[in-house]
Amino acid sequence: MASEEIKARIAALLRKARDAGASEAEAMAAAARAAQLMSDYGLSELEIEIEEATARLKTKGKSPRDLLWGTVARCTNTAAIMGLEWSPVITFVGRAPGPQIAEYLVVVLNRAVDREVERYRTKAEFQRRRSVATRRQACHDFTVGLVARLRGRLLEMFSASMDAGAIAQAKAVLDARFPGAQNVSLNTRKVRFGNAAQSGFAAAGRITLSHGVAGAAPRAQIGRG
C-alpha cells in the first residue's frame, strides 16, 4: 500500500502538470512521473485527489446526535466511516474542501448540541422531572428534536452544492481504503416526551451554522471534480 508521503508526492506532481505557469516540458515530465508512480503503487488519479479528515466524536452511535454525521457527509459530498473501539472518531473521505468542512461541522455541531442540552437542563420543564430515568429520557427527546431541525437546516444550506456523483466517488474510495467496514446501528429509542422534542426543535433555530471552515464564506463547489 502506498504511503501518505508517496500520495503527497504524486499529488504535487499532478499539480505541477496542470500548472499554467509551468513550461510544456516541465508539465509533461511531471505528468509522466506521476503516471509512473501511480502505476508502480496501483493508484488511480481519483485516489490521489480524494482527501481525508478525521474528527473526534463524543458518543459511540448511541445518541440521536450521531444521526447528524451522515447528513454532514452528504452535505459535503463525502463518505464517512466511524471508528468506535476506543476514542470514537469519524473519518470523512472526499474531494477537498469537503472533508475539511465536514470535520469543522462535527466540531461546531457537537459544541452546539452540548450547549443547548445544558441550557435545557436549567429549564423548569426539565427540573420538574425527578427521576434519573425520566431526566435522561427528556434529554434524549430534546436532542432528537434538536437534531431533526439541524439536519433539515444543513440540507437546505448545502442544497446547491450537493453532488451525487461526487458522493458516489467518495464512497468508492472509502470502500477501497477501509475494506471490511461494517454498518453501525444508530440509536432508535422512541420519543416519550413530545414537549422536550419540541423544545429541542425550537432550540435548533438559535444555532448559527456556517458553510466554510472556521467561519469561512460559503463554498459553491464542494467536492466537485
Q: What is the pLDDT of residues 152-167, one digit of tens each?
A: 999 999 999 999 999 9
**What is the β-pairing status of strands 50-56 and 79-83?**
unpaired
**Which of the four pLDDT bands, split at 50, 70 and 90, describes residue 108?**
very high
* DSSP-assigned beta bridge partners for residue 82: 90
**pLDDT of 44 above 60:** yes
Amino acid at 105: L
| Confidence class for position 48, pLDDT limits 50, 70, 90 | confident
Half-sphere exposure of 57 (CA within 13 A, CB side): 26
Proportion of the chain above pLDDT 90, given as a percent:
52
Q: Are residues 35 and 115 in the same domain?
A: no
In the structure, what pLDDT confidence band is assigned to residue 117 with cuts at 50, 70 and 90? very high
Q: How confident is the model at residue 210 (pLDDT cuts 50, 70, 90)?
A: low
25 lies in the same domain as 115: no
Give the pLDDT confidence score for residue 211 in this predicted structure.
58
The order of strands in the sheet holding 79-83 is 50-56, 89-95, 79-83
Q: How many residues in total does the chain contain?
A: 225
- Residue-wise burial string across 156-185, b where 16 or more C-beta atoms lie within 10 A, e elsewhere: eebeebebeebbebbbbbbeebeeeeeeee
Do 38 and 57 fall into the same domain?
A: no
Say if residue 224's pLDDT is above 50: no
Counting the structural domains of the chain, the total is 2
Q: Is the pLDDT of residue 91 over 50?
A: yes
Could you tell me if 73 and 182 lie in one domain?
Answer: yes
First-to-last CA distance in the chain? 25
Same domain, 17 and 125: no
- What domain range is 26 assigned to? 4-43
Answer whether residue 220 is part of any domain: no
- Determine, yes or no, domain membership for 221: no
Average pLDDT, the chain: 85
- Between 201 and 32, the more confident residue is 201
Residue at 18 is within a domain: yes
CA dist., res. 45 & res. 7, Å (int): 10
Are 174 and 203 in a shared domain? yes
Residue 119 and residue 13 in one domain: no
Q: Which long-range contacts (CB under 8 A, 24 or more apart) does 110-114 make?
A: 110/57, 110/58, 110/65, 112/150, 112/207, 113/65, 113/143, 113/146, 113/147, 114/58
Residues 118 and 136 in one domain: yes
* Range with top average pLDDT, 49-63, 95-109, 115-129: 115-129
- Same-domain status, 81 and 187: yes
pLDDT at 66 (0 to 100): 93
**Residue 21 reports pLDDT greater than 80:** yes
Cell of 86: 476506543
At residue 214, the pLDDT reads 39
- Residues 199-211: what's their mean pLDDT? 87
Question: Would you place residue 215 in the very low, low, confident or very high pLDDT band (cuts 50, 70, 90)?
Answer: very low
Q: Which residue has the higher pLDDT, 177 or 107?
A: 107
CB of 84 within 8 A of CB of 61? yes
CA distances from 87 to 14, 58, 84, 103, 106 (A): 35, 8, 7, 16, 15
127 and 69 in a common domain: yes
The answer to whether the beta carbons of residues 57 and 48 sit under 8 Å apart is: no
Strand pairing partners for 89?
56, 83
Q: Are residues 129 and 38 in the same domain?
A: no
- The reply to whether 33 and 56 lie within a common domain is no
In a domain? residue 222: no
For range 7-16, the mean pLDDT: 82
Average pLDDT over residues 120-129: 95
